[in-house]
Amino acid sequence: MRWPRILALVSFVHAFEAPPAFGVTHTLSFASHNPEDPYDKEWKQPNTDVALYPETQHLALDPSMRHLRPPPPRIPSTYDIFVGLSAFRDGVRCAYTVFTGFKRSSAPDHLYFGIVDQVNEDDANCIDEYCILAKEEWPEEECKYKSHIKTDKRNANDSRGPTLARSYQQLLVGNQEFCLQLDAHSVFTNDWDLGLVEDWKTVGNEMGVLTTYLHNLHDFVQPDGSNKGASYDTPQHLPHICQTMRGGNGLVRNIGADLILGPKAPQLTALWGAGFSFSKCHAEKRVLTDSHTLWMFDGEEFLRASHLWTHGYDLYSPSRTGCVVYHNYTSVPARFEYVQVDENKRKEEREMGENRFRLIVNWPFKGPVDTFELDKYGWGTARSLQQYLNFSGITFEPNKRDEHSCKQLYWVPYSDPSSIEALLPGWNLYSEHAQALRGPGIALGTADDTSSVGMGILFVGVVVVGILLYTQRIKRSLPAKDT
């Protein structure tokens, strides 16, 4: 046995060893679902609880890469925030979302909204309804902050689902530093902007994206805008998306959300929720939402998660610090699926969009497909789609089911960091300077992974010595012709 074979064996064995856990911990409690029907209400199995350690989540599984870190956050002394909303015939609730955003922001002069307002002729418009609320609150002005609102008004019957609307929404982003995407029936709480930026900063990753499914506003938001009366009374348990299924169209769909009990810090996740996504605006400008997946609902969130991830972004569930926006889960006034359109045209557009999904993930299909602008909406080069599938547990292999990602996840270093290094001048994945700045796995304290590296070296040494001793013993017991 030669050294390369020994080292290959050591690498193979150690690849399955997670870094030693350290630092603060919280518990993820996730539900069991019927594999044949995830929404089977008769399926009664207990939840599984697993301990998560957010301070270790930026340590790579590969010991040879465990010293690498994502780029540290860059936050200017002053910054603007963009909030993107895509509303479908929901002007009244959209207006209240905008109103609470400005009223409850710590710096409303640095806040901007971009609204894709899909309405029929007689529908309430988001901006008009907002101005009514603004006039009541700030009577000295006709419509305070109106100049901070961009609106792309469109005919509701031209709607083709959330992905097309959100592609228009991205065009409204300006030169703001941070971008927040919400459903257009959300409600903000007091000083929400401070909480979001602080939680994002805690992640310790310029490429971080906070995302989840939001709690119901009726349980937590007080009339004065506070989180159930006081900041320390924010929800004790927060949603964490970590399970998938196949939707009615056969494409990937998130199964609701599980819960992290008493989250101490943002937690790395593999999945993305469309109703809440907070990041630097370069994510919205670099990773475009595909406008050629018409009528798509199931499949949208997988495409967004996988494209962000391959472009170098990492997803995190927010902690209680970032739990500052809530969702209105009352019935929507109308749904895009019921717009007035020729049914043959709808069927063709839907099939072409769904087959576009299958095409880009290399999933066999029959039928027409829209291949326009595939390069414009392609995968990133920082990491591969296959790496994302391995990371998330999602599979397109025949006769296999997705594996959940309700476990401790570890940051995956970029296989090609050049696009990230071009985005962030002065940062280099492998430079000594970049590693000197790396700090802990997450910005919670001074703990580092020195002990884990030491243990890894010790482990490798023990395995190598053991293999050498075992090899020598085998050599002595074998006939000469077999050595």
**pLDDT score of 433:** 52
Tell me which fold the domain 20-448 belongs to: Spore Coat Polysaccharide Biosynthesis Protein SpsA; Chain A (3.90.550)
DSSP strand pairing (314-317 vs 81-88) = unpaired
pLDDT in tens, 295-307: 999 999 999 999 9
**pLDDT score of 473:** 42
Report CA torsion sign: 244, 246, 252, 257.
negative
Q: What DSSP character marks residue 221?
A: B
Question: For residue 174, with 0-12 CB atoms within 10 Å meaning exposed, 13-18 middle and 19 or more buried, which class applies?
Answer: exposed
Average pLDDT along the chain: 88
Query: 126 and 185 in contact (C-beta within 8 Å)?
Result: no
**pLDDT score of 7:** 34
Q: Which helix (H) or strand (E) holds 309?
A: helix 300-310
In the predicted structure, residue 25 carries a pLDDT above the cut 70: yes
Span of 22-31, 87-96, 129-138, 426-435 with lowest mean pLDDT: 426-435
In the predicted structure, residue 228 carries a pLDDT above the cut 90: no
pLDDT in tens, 391-412: 999 999 998 999 999 999 999 9
Report CA torsion sign: 41, 43, 45, 49.
negative
- Whole-number percent of the chain with pLDDT over 70: 85
**pLDDT score of 13:** 38
Neighbouring residues of 35: CB distance < 8 A, sequence distance ≥ 6: 401
Higher pLDDT, 204 or 336: 204
Higher pLDDT, 2 or 432: 432
**pLDDT score of 248:** 83
Query: 168 and 116 in contact (C-beta within 8 Å)?
Result: yes
**Residue 87 three-state SS:** strand
Q: What DSSP character marks residue 19?
A: P
Higher pLDDT, 347 or 454: 347
In the predicted structure, residue 479 carries a pLDDT above the cut 90: no
In the predicted structure, residue 272 carries a pLDDT above the cut 70: yes
Indicate the residue type of 411.
W
In the predicted structure, residue 10 carries a pLDDT above the cut 60: no
Rounded CA-CA distance 412/391 in Å is 8
- Mean pLDDT across 89-115: 98
pLDDT confidence tier of residue 217, bands split at 50, 70 and 90: confident
Query: 113 and 101 in contact (C-beta within 8 Å)?
Result: yes
Neighbouring residues of 383: CB distance < 8 A, sequence distance ≥ 6: 309, 310, 312, 412, 414, 415, 416
Rounded CA-CA distance 254/247 in Å is 9
**pLDDT score of 106:** 98
Query: 268 and 251 in contact (C-beta within 8 Å)?
Result: no
Token pair in block for residue 19: 């870094």
Indicate the residue type of 355.
N
Token pair in block for residue 425: 């001048």
Rounded CA-CA distance 380/193 in Å is 29
**pLDDT score of 232:** 53
pLDDT confidence tier of residue 472, bands split at 50, 70 and 90: very low
- Mean pLDDT across 14-31: 87
pLDDT in tens, 147-170: 999 999 999 999 999 999 999 999
Rounded CA-CA distance 260/239 in Å is 6
Q: Identify the CA nearest to 87 among candidates 363, 349, 334, 439.
A: 334
Q: Which helix (H) or strand (E) holds 239?
A: strand 237-240
In the predicted structure, residue 335 carries a pLDDT above the cut 90: no
Q: Where are the domains of the chain?
A: 20-448
Across the beta sheet with 178-183, what order do the strands follow? Answer: 149-155, 111-119, 81-88, 178-183, 276-280, 208-211, 314-317, 267-269
**pLDDT score of 437:** 52
**pLDDT score of 464:** 42
Indicate the residue type of 40.
D
DSSP strand pairing (111-119 vs 81-88) = parallel
- Mean pLDDT across 435-462: 47
pLDDT confidence tier of residue 255, bands split at 50, 70 and 90: very high
Higher pLDDT, 11 or 84: 84
- Mean pLDDT across 255-265: 94
**pLDDT score of 474:** 36
Question: For residue 389, with 0-12 CB atoms within 10 Å meaning exposed, 13-18 middle and 19 or more buried, which class applies?
Answer: middle
Question: Helices (H), strands (E): how many in the chain?
Answer: 13, 16
Rounded CA-CA distance 238/211 in Å is 11
